[in-house]
Amino acid sequence: MINSKVDIAVKQLIDDSKGNLKWRLNLDCFILKIITIPSSKLIWVIGSEENVFLVDSDTAIAVKKFDNIAEIIFSAVIQPKTSALILCTSSGVRLLTIDGDVVVLLEEEDWFEHLAISSNGKFLLASKGKTLYTFKQKNDSYELAGKDSSFTSTISHIIFNVDSFLISNYGGVREYSVSNLEEYTLFEWKTSLLNISWSPNKEYIAAGTQENAIHFWPYPLQKEKDFQMGGYPLKVDTILWSDDSKQFIVNGAEDVHIWDFSDGPPFGKSPRILGCSYGKIIDIVYDGNLLVAASEEGVVFCFIPEDSDHFVNIEAVDSEITCLSMVNNGSKIYVGSKEGDLYCF
């Protein structure tokens, strides 16, 4: 719900933008994540409890509903070749095909929270507490290839970068090669890390911390060359890089901050600030031209950072936003809500 801080000018912009709403579909569940399928009109919509939908983005119809998947769904990724959906749940790891099949990759109690898949789809990683599970592709499915319980604290995030992957937990980030799961490089930092992002040019690894800061390590690892950006009022839970690695984008509480890395770390400089200021920014997507930021108060801001720090469009929904997704070039923007409404602008 839009709060009282939204001034008259912004309210007018929101009223003017109502005609941009293409459709609205209620799925009757908290929407956790929206994943677009490349070169398809179908999108995956993941509810936090039991339900997953395949929605036709042209007709606004849920063409398939998968229910009773598990008591709770925590995270999801898409298989890049088959467009199947893979889920971490409260009772294991599941694979859902576009044709409607449900494949149990791993059945095990307790919460599987984090998931990552390699760009070629050959490797899949899932974590449960302090344990990492490795899967290898077998035909159109996956089989369990390994289990690592050597972590001393809970795994907080997993990401892939071509032929290696990163795992964060208390104490730092581990880098593994997919060809050698026995050895790793530790990017050390003695605190709890929330999330990680690797610059596309592989020059920096960034991680949000419990101390409302972002920690950086140069890559390959260089001792005592790491650095930190602090002073954020809240925990930084959205961090991403532009495709050319020149811009580092952060949700700075109620605004979007863009740090310039075109000449290396921006020591002594301030970030560009894309002003939103209508509730905490909970999600950001960027396709290299259009940057879209959603606030929990129900307002969606659209920017073209190359042109201006001011938003070029603004949309609003009448419920609390939970997630955001976008088709490249911004032709369609999808917004999920706490009340189960899926919006398409």
pLDDT band at 5 (very low <50, low <70, confident <90, very high): very low
Residue 14: what pLDDT?
Answer: 59
Task: Write out pLDDT tens, residues 201-249.
Answer: 999 999 999 999 999 999 999 989 999 999 999 999 899 999 999 999 9
293 vs 333: CA distance, rounded Å: 11
pLDDT over threshold 60, residue 98: yes
pLDDT band at 18 (very low <50, low <70, confident <90, very high): low
Distances (CA, A) of 309 to 17, 263, 273, 276, 301: 20, 21, 7, 10, 11
97 vs 168: CA distance, rounded Å: 30
48 vs 53: CA distance, rounded Å: 12
> Which structure tokens are listed for 153?
């604290």
> Which structure tokens are listed for 222?
């260089």
pLDDT band at 252 (very low <50, low <70, confident <90, very high): confident
Looking up tokens 């592709």, which residue turns up? 137
Percent of the chain residues past pLDDT 90, beyond the cut? 82
Long-range contacts at 138-147 (CB < 8 A, ≥ 24 apart) = 140/82, 140/84, 140/97, 141/95, 141/103, 141/105, 142/86, 142/95, 142/105, 143/105, 144/105, 144/106, 146/181
Please, are residues 150 and 133 in contact by the beta-carbon 8 Å criterion? no
User: Which of the pair, 58 or 179, is modelled with greater confidence?
Assistant: 58
Residue 1: what pLDDT?
Answer: 45
pTM (2 d.p.): 0.93
> Which structure tokens are listed for 181?
């799961």
Residues contacting 82, CB < 8 A, separation 6+: 97, 98, 121, 140
The backbone torsions φ and ψ at residue 14, rounded to the nearest 5 degrees and listed phi first, read -65, -45
Alpha-carbon dihedral angle through residues 253, 326, 36, 85, given to the nearest 10 degrees: 0
Please, are residues 88 and 72 in contact by the beta-carbon 8 Å criterion? no
User: Which of the pair, 257 or 6, is modelled with greater confidence?
Assistant: 257
Q: Domains in the chain, start-ordered, CATH in brackets?
A: 1-31+238-345 (2.130.10.10)
